Amino acid sequence: MTPRTLFDKVWSAHEVVAETRDTPAVLYVDLHLVHEVTTPQAFSMLRQYGLPVRRPDRTLATMDHSTPTHTAQVFGSVPIKVDAAAKQVRQMEENAAEFGLELFGMRDARRGIVHIIGPELGCTQPGMTIVCGDSHTSTHGAFGALAFGIGTTEVGHVFATQALLQRKPKSLAVNIEGQLQPGVTAKDLILAIIGQIGVSGGTGHVLEYRGSTVRALAMHERMTVCNMSIEAGARAGMIAPDEVTYEYLRGRPRAPRDQDWEAAEARWRTFVTDPKARFDASVEVNAERIEPMITYGTNPGMVVPIGAAIPDRQGDEVFDKAMRYMGFHCGEAMIGKTVNVVFIGSCTNGRLEDLQAAATILKGRKVAKGVHLLIVPGSQQIKHQAEALGLADIFKAAGADWRESGCSMCLGMNGDTVAAGQYSISTSNRNFEGRQGKGARTLLVSPLTAAASAVKGSITDPRELL
């Protein structure tokens, strides 16, 4: 048999009908994750056709994007501040009830960012196909699943059929070798990769992150890497499952148990790229040379090592426009630049380990005067764990604002926004114009760099404070 990649194997295991020149493949979907923002029109489509959700047992709904993070708005009697967001939340509740979907609603202890709770509950498993009307669905690829974002029309297709029409993308091996230096995180690794291959370097491809560096990453780090595959243009990024994956999944509420586990693990072990399997393309990444990274422009590919200066790309229209938007100039050092807001959270860096990393820096220190540090756990479970471990106390003692879970300030649609012209040092995934609020200026970093910059009140190399 021809040697096959991990991606080839997951793809062919879900091919209901193979593609032809004239028709795309019919691809089966194992798990459909659902949230309130990209589904209302898909439910309308079901109503229009008089159709049910075909497999509610393979569908899991939560609310994360438009939900508030203020405790009083989530658990108290204070109404959700943004009217349209409140309406969307209500509609998600009504739609879930009408179509018989399991919904982790506003006050559910299992609610959280959709890409955090899938793995947390053990729903995300190796070899699966997972889709969601959200581009950061690529996160779940960290388990060796083929996971990608879809549009709302396709959400409707999956509701009605549990399948999708898809052309098979090409494959791109990202071979990463060498040990990450102390103070350099998975976030810095993926930012460096995006800087290397560019924001469209992965377009049309499914990435597989491979090599000794990847094997040494813990699951939360693998998720951070796969999460930002889409920022390199790739709909999906995958990492082959191994002992680290199985150890993470064992005992999770929705992971297989007992004999089912044995059978599942045996099957999962087949989802690895065969020796000599061919990729359509490959890139080599040297992890040892990577430094803490920071973006300086208005897409995630405009990124430099934190100790570097903004490169000179004057005359490049996008660069010049980005400099005007950010209020920066080429040649300026990143270190020491002004910080107004620091956001730690999101599906990229809102996991317990991310909060622990931030706490190593914030413990016994204070947030600099005039800086607003917002820390938003990725799920309610993470919130409770962080409180039980004393992390929340460390954050509050430092002067941080500690909230309920949600997408929060990653995108300005739930009331958590950055004011126009303000500089936001953020652990999220997109530094697009206006992403965190109209006129907001976003710089993407790791949780370590975010925490260090909050303490110093200016952009700081976290290694100074470790």
Among 109, 318, 333, 466, binds other proteins (CB under 8 A): 318
CB of 223 to other proteins, least distance (A): 18
Tell me whether residue 5 or residue 38 sits nearer to other proteins (CB atom).
38
Binding status of residue 438 toward other proteins by CB under 8 A: yes
Binding status of residue 233 toward other proteins by CB under 8 A: yes
| Interior/surface letters 259-292, b for 16+ CB within 10 angstroms, e for the rest | eebeebbeebeebbbeeebebeeebebebeebbb
Binding status of residue 72 toward other proteins by CB under 8 A: no
CB of 33 to other proteins, least distance (A): 12
* Run of H or E including 172: strand 170-177
Sequence-distant (6+) residues with CB within 8 A of 275 are 3
Q: Find tokens 């490959």 and name the residue.
A: 282
Among 175, 196, 203, 360, binds other proteins (CB under 8 A): 203
Between CA 357 and CA 466 the distance in angstroms is: 10
Q: What is the dihedral of CA 205, 210, 216, 222, to 10 degrees?
A: 10
CB of 394 to other proteins, least distance (A): 31
Between CA 217 and CA 186 the distance in angstroms is: 8
CB of 383 to other proteins, least distance (A): 23
**Edge-to-edge order in the sheet of strand 401-402:** 401-402, 372-375, 341-344, 423-426, 441-444
Tell me whether residue 161 or residue 175 sits nearer to other proteins (CB atom).
161
Sequence-distant (6+) residues with CB within 8 A of 21 are none
Sequence-distant (6+) residues with CB within 8 A of 101 are 34, 53, 56, 59, 60, 61, 95
* Run of H or E including 442: strand 441-444
- What three-state secondary structure class fits 407? coil
- Tokens representing residue 271 in the block: 């989802």
From the list 40-48, 285-293, 328-336, 387-395, the region that binds other proteins by CB under 8 A is 40-48
Instruction: Find the binding residues for other proteins in span 122-161 (CB under 8 A).
Output: 133-135, 148-154, 156-157, 160-161
Binding status of residue 243 toward other proteins by CB under 8 A: no
Between CA 8 and CA 14 the distance in angstroms is: 10
Among 4, 56, 70, 91, binds other proteins (CB under 8 A): 91
CB of 41 to other proteins, least distance (A): 5
Tell me whether residue 47 or residue 396 sits nearer to other proteins (CB atom).
47
Instruction: Find the binding residues for other proteins in span 357-416 (CB under 8 A).
Output: 411-413
Instruction: Find the binding residues for other proteins in span 252-271 (CB under 8 A).
Output: none
CB of 236 to other proteins, least distance (A): 10
Q: How far apart are the first and last CA of the chain?
A: 51
CB of 255 to other proteins, least distance (A): 19
Between CA 210 and CA 233 the distance in angstroms is: 18
Binding status of residue 108 toward other proteins by CB under 8 A: no
Binding status of residue 317 toward other proteins by CB under 8 A: yes
Tell me whether residue 82 or residue 397 sits nearer to other proteins (CB atom).
82
Between CA 305 and CA 294 the distance in angstroms is: 6
Binding status of residue 40 toward other proteins by CB under 8 A: yes
Binding status of residue 449 toward other proteins by CB under 8 A: no
| Interior/surface letters 126-140, b for 16+ CB within 10 angstroms, e for the rest | bbbbbbbbbbbbbbb
Among 12, 41, 286, 314, binds other proteins (CB under 8 A): 41
From the list 24-32, 219-227, 283-291, 330-338, the region that binds other proteins by CB under 8 A is 24-32
Which residues of this protein are in contact with other proteins, per CB under 8 A? 16-17, 21-24, 26, 28, 37-38, 40-41, 44-45, 65-66, 82, 84-85, 87-88, 91, 133-135, 148-154, 156-157, 160-165, 167, 169, 199-200, 203-204, 230-231, 233, 235, 299, 301, 317-318, 321, 411-413, 430, 432-435, 438
